[in-house]
Amino acid sequence: MTNVYDEQDYPYAVRHWTHPTRLGALSQLMGRLAAPFRDCRVLEIGAGDGVNLASMAIGAPRAQFIGVDLSERAIAAGRELTAAAGVSNLRLDCADLRDFEAEPQSFDYIIAHGVYAWAPKIVQDAVMALCGRLLSPRGVAMISYNALPGCRLRQALRDLLLSAVAGIAEPERRIAAARATASFYAEQWSASDNAFRKALALEARDFLGRPDGLIFHDELGEIYDPQLFSTVVAAARAHGLDYLCDNDPSLVGHALWESEQWGQSLPLTGGDQIAYEQALDFVETRFFRRSLFCRAGAPLERRFAPERLSGLYLEAQLEPFMDASVSEGEYAFKTAGMGEVSTRDALFGAAMRRLGEAYPRALAIDEIAAEPAARSALLRLFAGNMARLATEPFPVGRQPGEKPFANPLARAQARLGLGSVTSYRHSQVALEGDDTRRFLDLLDGTRTVDDLTRAMSGAAEESRTRAQVKAALATFAMWGLTRA
């Protein structure tokens, strides 16, 4: 039987928020120590070509990783890539998740991204049953899904697009017809003063910015079944799982600290966290969730406790600045997203400065913040999506070393001519040009700067090439492509 994922490629990628060091850190914040990454067992459902797992496997050679997907084409591509990268602790299986067998409670982390809300009810039940059966006592399962009420708007656009592509089977023509339809209506709706049409116009323009593979499989797919958060939590409970928290930093913040909204919602929620987060979804018209689950019965303490940050690491790209907007005694920083954060607290300011100077290396929170107030402030950087939180640091730093060694997976991707490669920070890095990819592949830990200069010189002036090599190495180090 033909699989639609074999007909049209899907844009598989690493997703930093699926990494076990992130999932384990969130579990620890909620009062549960998770399994250490270096020795864990990880299962990804709907793994595609396995690049997400391969990136993890590179960083934990003693751990074991298994990916399951229905697409023979994606699994074959993944096996080729991992073989080229020398990844030996990852197994990719082309199989139906309903047929997957393993020892009970044998996986410390289970990831199901992009599966649950795009599958029939029988498969949704199978995902929950598998997590309930295979998750270890200290395990964390992450299940992502389209959420209500936000996806009601997307459903309206989807209904229109499906009508426009009815009868078109060939993927390229189907995608082109959907793009043309969305473009036409986006222009029409944008000219209106009607609030609903304006919202549809924004949704249509967002649709037009998505890659073809995502449009074909997600937006025009046969099944699109957005869920209420409370419905997913109930389905998990039926299989012996408790809701831990969401992977979204802002929702983590709502779990850790009682906000003004928490107090205002008490007459509706009775102080129940599940009811409160469901109310938040309605308030914020949330359209996507990345919910974390653990085995039922484990103690959960969601409110902030400074001691739970012990052993955790924080990474943040922060650049101090001073201009007319910064008053005397204020510590101000630019963030990676060109936002700003400032404080008058000297301890917090010093901690942020150290984080910025160390980036891309993560720092132990214990080393930069001992006081509860400073620890809380640092954690709010994460809740504000200005920092990454982890149980272990990635092996990166600003200095690439005497003989630079780039991520083996990234080098394999460069050899295959891919435009995007994977960093040690479990992120995607776009590379432009064959020379850039060739240079990256040379970084196998055997060459000095002089060796690299000679290899890249060609007819160019060697002194200029040496400067370019050094600049490229510095950039690669900041991107996390080279090991410190």
Cut 0.75: pTM above it: yes
Q: Which of 13-27, 378-392, 457-471 has the lowest mean pLDDT?
A: 457-471
Average pLDDT over residues 254-264: 94
Band of pLDDT at residue 338, cut at 50, 70 and 90: confident
Per-domain residue ranges of the chain: 4-148+226-295, 151-219, 306-390, 408-479
DSSP 92-145: EEES-GGG----TT-EEEEEE-S-GGGS-HHHHHHHHHHHHHHEEEEEEEEEEE
pLDDT for the residue 326 = 87
pLDDT of 347 > 60? The answer is yes
Percent of residues, the chain, with pLDDT higher than 70: 98
- In the CATH hierarchy, which fold is given to the domain comprising 306-390? Outer Surface Protein A; domain 3 (3.90.930)
pLDDT of 2 > 80? The answer is no
Average pLDDT over residues 105-122: 95
Structure tokens of 46? 């709907």
Q: How far apart are CA 172 and CA 178, in angstroms?
A: 10
The contacts of residue 170 (CB under 8 Å, 6+ apart) are none
Band of pLDDT at residue 262, cut at 50, 70 and 90: very high
pLDDT for the residue 244 = 97
DSSP 15: -
pLDDT for the residue 6 = 66
Average pLDDT over residues 86-99: 96
**Separation in Å, CA 303 to CA 31, 40, 138, 176:** 9, 27, 20, 49
In angstroms, how far is CA 87 from the centroid of its own chain? 21
pLDDT of 76 > 90? The answer is yes
Band of pLDDT at residue 1, cut at 50, 70 and 90: very low
Band of pLDDT at residue 11, cut at 50, 70 and 90: confident
pLDDT of 265 > 90? The answer is yes
Where helices occur in 166-317 by DSSP H, the ranges are 171-190, 195-208, 212-214, 229-237, 249-256, 260-269, 273-284
Q: Please write the tens of the pLDDT for every residue from 233-247.
A: 999 999 999 999 999
Q: Please write the tens of the pLDDT for every residue from 401-460.
A: 999 999 999 999 999 999 899 999 999 999 999 999 999 999 999 999 999 999 998 655
Q: Which of 140-144, 258-262, 321-325, 446-450 has the lowest mean pLDDT?
A: 321-325
Q: Please write the tens of the pLDDT for every residue from 356-411.
A: 999 999 999 999 999 999 999 999 999 999 999 999 999 999 999 999 999 999 99
Please state which architecture CATH assigns to domain 4-148+226-295: 3-Layer(aba) Sandwich (3.40)
Average pLDDT over residues 250-266: 95
CATH number belonging to the domain at 408-479, selected among 3.90.220, 1.10.3470, 2.60.40, 1.10.10: 1.10.10
pLDDT of 462 > 80? The answer is no
pLDDT for the residue 460 = 58
Q: How far apart are CA 322 and CA 477, in angstroms?
A: 27
pLDDT of 78 > 50? The answer is yes
